[in-house]
Amino acid sequence: MCGIVGAIAHRTVTPVLLEGLKRLEYRGYDSAGIAVLDQDHTLLRTRRIGKILELEAALQQAPLVGRIGIAHTRWATHGVPSERNAHPHVCRERVAVVHNGIVENYEALRGELQAKGYEFTSETDTEVIAHQIDVFLEQGLPLLKAVQATCGVLRGAFAIGVISSAHPRELVAARQGSPLVVGLGDSENYIASDVFALVAETQRFLFLEDGDTAVLTTDGVEIYDAAGAAVERPVHETRIAADAVERGEYRHYMQKEIHEQAIAVEKTLDGRYQGERLLDEAFGDTAAAIFDQVRNVQIVACGTSYHAGMVARYWMEEIAGVPCQVEVASEFRYRRHVVQPGTLFVTISQSGETADTLAALKQARLIGYTHTLAICNVPESSLVRESELALMTRAGPEIGVASTKAFTTQLTALLLLVIAIGKRNGISKEREVAIVRELHRLPSQIEQVLRLEPEIVKWAENFGDKKDALYLGRGMHYPVAMEGALKLKEISYIHAEAYPAGELKHGPLALIDDQMPVIAVAPNNELLEKLKSNLQEVQARGGELYVFADVNAPLESMAGVKLLRVAEVNDVLAPIIYTIPLQLLAYHVALIKGTDVDQPRNLAKSVTVE
Ligand code: F6R
C-alpha cells in the first residue's frame, strides 16, 4: 500500500516522479503529493486529495521545478484521506519524507517530539519520521546518519525516501519490511516501491534488503546494511517492457487482464515441459531433491491467492495423494503450529510483497519449516528472493486491483506443482501425461469461455439494483465460488458470499427470497446431482438462480433457472475455466453500477501493511 518514488538528476525530475506515481497508483489512490528542491534549494511541495490526475492538474497550473524530488500516492492507514494527511510530510521547510508502511510506535515518538517543540499538522504516523530526522540534523549529523539514527528509533515496517534543503545533492532512502528498489540511470538515480514505476527510465535495478539505507547522488548509489557497513547489492536487469502496462483498446485494465488469460496461461506453461513430462528445474535447481522429501504441503496466502491455494488443496490430495493444508497468512502468522516433518511450505502471491504472506514465510522458517516455495508473478519481489524455490506465474503486470489473470496462472502453476509432487507419490505416467495434454488445451478453452461475454453482459443487467448475492459451488468449485463472490464485492460493492452448496440448509437458506440472486457453478462432475438438489432448495424458496453449467449437465428440467452453458472441460482444469465467467459477471455488474473498476474504493493492489 502506498507508492513512493524519488529521483535525482541533472534535469527537472517532476515528469519522472509523475510518471512513476501513475505506474504506482494501483498501490493507493486517495491522495498524492510531490516535493522537490528548487535551484535555490528551497523545499517546494504540492499535494492533492484524489487521484494522480488531480496532482497532475495542479502541477500544470503551478509547475514544480527541481533536480531532486520525492513523491507519493497514498492508501490511508493513519488519518483520513485529505490534503493535510497526504505525503510528502515536511519538517520546518527543511526535511521532506515519503513513507510506505506503518510506524507502530508513532504515538510515543509524537509525544516526545511535541515535548521538544515540534508541531504536527497531520494525523499520520509518517510525520514523526520527518521531525525525528530533523532532530538528528540539528545535532549535526549528516543526512544519511540522521536517517539511519531515525530508523533506529522507529518500530514497524517502512520504506522511506528523504530529501533535505540542508543536503540538496543527496536523496536518502531506507527499507525495513516494506518494498523499495533503486533504479540506476545515466547520471541520474531513482527509488521506487517497485520496478514498474521506473521502467520508462531504466532497466537496471538494485534491491534493498531489510535494514538497508542508501544515498543516491547523480554520480552513484551507496548502500549500507543494518549495521551501517557499506555493502554491494547485485544489479538486476529487468525484462519488463515500458509499455507492458498500457491499457490498449480495453476500457479497463481488468477487462484487458481477463482477456489476456489464454496468453498468460500459455506463458506459465512455456518451457516447463520436455515432451509431455514436467521439468522439475522449472521450480529451481534444487527442486528435485527437495520434492523427493515432501510428505505434506502447507499453503499460505491472502485473498484471491488464498482461493487459488484452496483449489490446490483438492488437487494435492486427489491427484498427488499428499496431505495439504491451506491457511490465510494473517491467521497463520499469529498462532502456534505443529510442524509436520517433510512439509513443503508454499506461499502464493501475485505481488510477492504482501506483508502478511511475507511475515508468514519468515515465521515458517523460524518454527522449523525447512523448505519453502513461492508461486509468484513478480521475479524481483521480496517473496521470491526470500524463498528457497520459486515458480513464476508469468502473468505479466496486473494493474486492475481485482486479481484475474494472476489467479488463473496461479492455478496453472499450482497444478504443475501438484504433478511434480504427485510423480514422486505414485501418480502414473499416464495420468501425468493426460493432465499435461489437457493443460496444453487450456488456452484455447479459455478463449472459448470468454466468448460467453455478450450473454454475461445481459445477465449483469439484472444485478444493477441488487444489494446481495450468494455464490454456490461444491468440491473444488467452492473456492471458485468464493473467488466469484470476492470479485463481485470488491468492484461492484454488492455484498456477496460464497457457500459450499451443501451448507445452504444449515443457515444461509434463510436469506433466500426473490431479491437474492444465487450464482452457481455446475460442471458435469460427480457432485452435480447433489448440487442440483441444492439448487432446487433455492428455487423452491423463490430464489433467482444463475447457473454456469457444463453443456452436458442435465439441468433443463429446472424451469425458470438462467443457464449459461460452458463447453466440456476436464474435471481437473474446470476450476480455471469456471472462474472466468464469474470474473466477467463481476466486471459487467460493476460497469452497470458505475464504480471505479480498476481502482475500487478503499482498496489497493499490493497490501504491504499488516
Ligand atoms: C482480490 C485481490 C486480493 C489479493 C490479495 C493478495 O482481487 O487481488 O485479494 O489477492 O491482496 O495479494 P497478493 O496475491 O499480491 O499476495
In angstroms, the CA 53 to CA 191 distance is 21
Closest CA to 480 of 308, 269, 293: 308
* Percent of the chain predicted with pLDDT > 90: 78
Q: What is the band of 79 on the pLDDT scale with cuts at 50, 70, 90?
A: confident
**Could you tell me the distance, in angstroms and rounded to a whole number, from the CA of residue 406 to the centre of ligand 1?**
9
pLDDT tens, residue by residue, 107-141: 999 999 999 999 999 999 999 999 999 999 999 99
CA 319 to centroid of ligand 1, rounded, Å: 26
Rounded CA-CA distance 590/36 in Å is 39
SS3 (DSSP) at 1 = coil
For the segment 154-165, the average pLDDT, to the nearest whole number, is 95
Q: Which of 24-28, 29-33, 141-145, 284-288 has the highest mean pLDDT?
A: 141-145
Closest ligand 1 atom, residue 357 Cα? 16
Average pLDDT over residues 72-88: 91
- Helix %, strand %, coil % for the chain, to 5? 40, 25, 35
For the CA of 402, the nearest atom of ligand 1: 7
Does the C-beta of 377 come closer than 6 Å to ligand 1?
A: no
Q: How confident is the model at residue 380 (pLDDT cuts 50, 70, 90)?
A: confident
Compute the C-alpha angle 595/597/598, nearest 5°.
140
The residue-averaged pLDDT of 82-106 equals 94
Closest-CA residue, ligand 1 atom 3, reads: 303
- Cα gap 410→244, rounded to integer Å: 20
* Contact yes or no for 141/162 (Cβ under 8 A): no
pLDDT, tens digit, 9 for 90 and up, residues 552-599: 888 877 777 899 999 999 999 999 999 999 999 999 999 999 999 999
Predicted pLDDT at 566:
94
Task: Please indicate whether residue 77, judged by its CB atom, sits closer than 6 Å to ligand 1.
Answer: no
The pLDDT assigned to 239 comes to 79
Packed helices 429-450 and 574-593: angle between N→C axes, nearest 10 degrees: 20
Q: Give CA–CA dist 363/242, Å, rounded.
A: 36
Q: Which of 51, 405, 423, 605 is catalytic?
A: 605
Q: How far is CA 275 from the centre of its chain?
A: 33
Tell me the average pLDDT of the chain: 94
Residue 213 Cα to ligand 1 midpoint, Å, equals: 29
Whether the per-residue pLDDT at 169 is higher than 90: the answer is: yes
pLDDT at res. 520: 94
The confidence score (pLDDT) of residue 532 equals 83
Amino acid at 609: V
Ligand 1 mutation pick, 332, 351, 401, max ligand atoms within 8 A of CB: 351
* 106 SS3 class: helix
What is the 398 CA–ligand 1 centroid distance (Å)? 11
> What gap in Å lies between CA 212 and CA 399, rounded to an integer?
28
Annotation marks residue 51 as catalytic:
no
**Nearest residue (CA) to ligand 1, atom 9:** 303
Q: What is the pLDDT of residues 31-76, one digit of tens each?
A: 999 999 999 999 999 999 999 999 999 999 999 999 999 999 998 8
Please tell me the distance between residue 604's alpha carbon and the centre of ligand 1 in angstroms.
9
pLDDT(279) > 90: no
Would the CB of 607 count as within 6 Å of ligand 1?
A: yes
Residue count of the chain: 610
Residues with Cβ within 8 Å of 41's Cβ and at least 6 positions away in sequence, in order, are 165, 168
The finding on whether 349 has its CB within 6 A of some atom of ligand 1 is yes
What's the CA-to-centroid distance between 326 and ligand 1, angstroms? 15
Q: Is the pLDDT of residue 525 over 90?
A: no
Distance of CA 322 to the CA centre of its chain: 28
Distance between CA 451 and CA 443 in Å, rounded? 13
Cell of 241: 517492457
Whether ligand 1 lies within 6 angstroms of the CB of 378 is answered as no
Contact (CB, 8 A) for 538 and 516: no
Start-to-end C-alpha separation, the chain: 10
State the Rg of the chain over Cα.
25
Q: Where are the alpha helices (DSSP H) in 298-428?
A: 303-315, 329-332, 355-366, 382-386, 405-423
Active site residue 2: yes
pLDDT bracket for residue 274 (50, 70, 90): confident
Is the per-residue pLDDT at 277 higher than 90?
no
Q: Which residue has the higher pLDDT, 531 or 111?
A: 111
**Neighbour tally for 498: CB within 10 Å:** 27
- Bridge-partner residues for 297, per DSSP? 324, 344
Question: Which percentage of the chain shows pLDDT scores above 70?
Answer: 99
CB of 268 within 6 A of ligand 1: the answer is no
Q: Confidence class of residue 489 from pLDDT cuts 50, 70 and 90?
A: very high
pLDDT at 178: 87
Ligand 1 midpoint to CA 605 (Å): 7
Which atom of ligand 1 lies at the shortest distance from residue 351's CA?
Answer: 15
**Ligand 1 atom with least separation from CA of 410:** 14
Peptide bond into 88 cis (omega under 30): yes
Look-up: residue for cell 496466502? 301
Q: What span, in angstroms and rounded, lies between the C-alpha atoms of 185 and 168?
A: 19
Could you report the per-residue pLDDT of 175-200, keeping only the tens digit for each?
A: 998 889 999 999 999 999 999 899 99
From 154-168, 267-281, 364-378, 571-585, the region with the lowest mean pLDDT: 267-281
- Among candidates 499, 262, 521, which has minimal Cα distance to 404? 262
Q: What torsion do the CA atoms of 173, 178, 184, 185 make, to the nearest 10 degrees?
A: -80
Q: Using a 6 Å cutoff on CB, does residue 350 contact ligand 1?
A: yes
